[in-house]
Structure 1
């Protein structure tokens, strides 16, 4: 741990978690003969500047929500693997969401719907196509910019156009198109893994045997519930050319 602090002290400029992980990996594999490979994991918690009466506070910050993650493997040979990700990206849209077209059997009791709240907490992991340290771009803030761009593509694909949005027939469908959009936009990313649990907000309906409708709700009061829920996961990998 001491060496991590020392290497951090030696950094004279702002670095991304990925860049700092590569520096640590190179240090441990090149400095120690017995170390053949180093795996570095970093989680960056975002501190956001506080604004008071519309003015940015000189020294006030609050802890943000989603986290920037990375795992870098550096080998003595110079081979490298860089994974980046997001944890805790909470997203919700109040309409333009349903759950329909799913396989039904004699055990299925869930009705189809074209109108519901869609809420989830995205965990994303993407792998860069770089295979050696020398192949990594030297552009300053490269990984920070890519992290911001990937997050924007994920969010934009989830919500759609600001005015009309985009319809989601299921979380599975939306997850697929989010991952596909990342691969389509960034050729330096070789694979994307997404985890998006269903966070339910169910319309309240109060009734009893004596009174079928105690209070008439019109989808204007919702109950957040953890159970039952599904945790939807998928991985998309870029097809490698065989030519």
Structure 2
């Protein structure tokens, strides 16, 4: 006999742009987001017996996202996600959980003639700031994330003394190019409700700035023995910088750049220490993950 073991539904890919206009200075601040909101609760009859009376239309969910963006701040996204989720639980008693995912697209203010322009911006990369929020009536769980931050350094990385067996062909290297697309997440200690999120709202932008700065500074300055060793240092520093964060994780692809042997052309040296022209590889690539947690997780009161 069949049974419905899990169900959620909602609206995905809701594109939202909001501009804050400072009337005194004329300076505009813009935020562009892609929002997904999925609801769970006493909705099983809509699946099992075609009872639509328990369904909050996904179009209504979309409209709610727009209205709440108008009525509330959208920065930081952790707060806006919590506001959205709390609204659905407060409004619909049969909805018991809201899953809200927000992706904030990067717009950077233009600098024109050495001055920040009041209302012009540029897209300087595909980096996004992301939030995943799970809201229930007695808790809010938030995970913040950076993706699409592509970094590279042309030296200061090595990889040697690794396990070798009959399948190993990779040579050991003491100096190599290191490049990756950063996927960094940090999970907050549990918040009791929306009021608790609002109380600590200043933490979210600081943690995002710190995580981004730590990632780039450690990547650039660490004399990297491996991606594993460097990413662990990054995660440790995030926990140190943000006491309210319970765990931090990285997922880093190792984007390879291979030497090109040009000795066939007039004995040209272009390998090892002489490598200047190299071939970027699209795949396959290494993929390394780590999660670093505090020794004793604690819940927020």
TM-score normalised to structure 1 length: 0.88
Q: Kindly state the Cα deviation for residue 232 of structure 1 after the two structures are TM-superposed.
A: 1.0
CA–CA separation in structure 2 for the residues paired with 1:140 and 1:79: 16
Assess if the C-alpha contact under 8 Å between 1:157 and 1:181 holds in 2.
Answer: no
2:282 is matched with 226
For structure 2, the residue ranges without an aligned partner over 5 or more in a row are: 1-61
CA–CA separation in structure 2 for the residues paired with 1:224 and 1:43: 29
- Please tell me whether residue 92 in structure 1 is matched to residue 163 in structure 2: no
Which one of 11, 16, 31 corresponds to residue 91 of structure 2? 31
**Comparing 127-136 and 15-24, the one that deviates more:** 127-136
2:70 is matched with 9
Assess if the C-alpha contact under 8 Å between 1:130 and 1:188 holds in 2.
Answer: no
Q: Secondary structure at the match of 2:167?
A: coil
For structure 1, the residue ranges without an aligned partner over 5 or more in a row are: 161-165
CA–CA separation in structure 1 for the residues paired with 2:91 and 2:198: 23
CA gap of 1:241–1:230, structure 2 versus 1, over 3 A, is closer
1:18 is matched with 78
Which one of 201, 206, 216 corresponds to residue 155 of structure 1? 216
- Please tell me whether residue 172 in structure 1 is matched to residue 225 in structure 2: no
**Comparing 137-146 and 224-233, the one that deviates more:** 137-146
CA gap of 1:51–1:67, structure 2 versus 1, over 3 A, is same
CA gap of 1:53–1:87, structure 2 versus 1, over 3 A, is same
Q: Secondary structure at the match of 1:36?
A: strand
More relative contact order, 1 or 2 (CA 8 Å, 6+ apart): 1
Assess if the C-alpha contact under 8 Å between 2:101 and 2:131 holds in 1.
Answer: yes
Q: Secondary structure at the match of 2:95?
A: coil
Q: Kindly state the Cα deviation for residue 140 of structure 1 after the two structures are TM-superposed.
A: 4.8
**Comparing 218-227 and 21-30, the one that deviates more:** 218-227
For 1:199-214, list aligned pairs within 5 A: 199-208=255-264, 214=267
2:268 is matched with 215
CA gap of 1:132–1:140, structure 2 versus 1, over 3 A, is closer
Assess if the C-alpha contact under 8 Å between 1:15 and 1:141 holds in 2.
Answer: no
1:73 is matched with 134
Q: What stretches of structure 1 move > 3 A for 4+ residues in a row? A: 134-137
TM-score normalised to structure 2 length: 0.72
CA–CA separation in structure 1 for the residues paired with 2:230 and 2:287: 13
Cα RMSD for the two superposed structures: 2.0
2:4 is matched with none
CA–CA separation in structure 2 for the residues paired with 1:182 and 1:139: 17
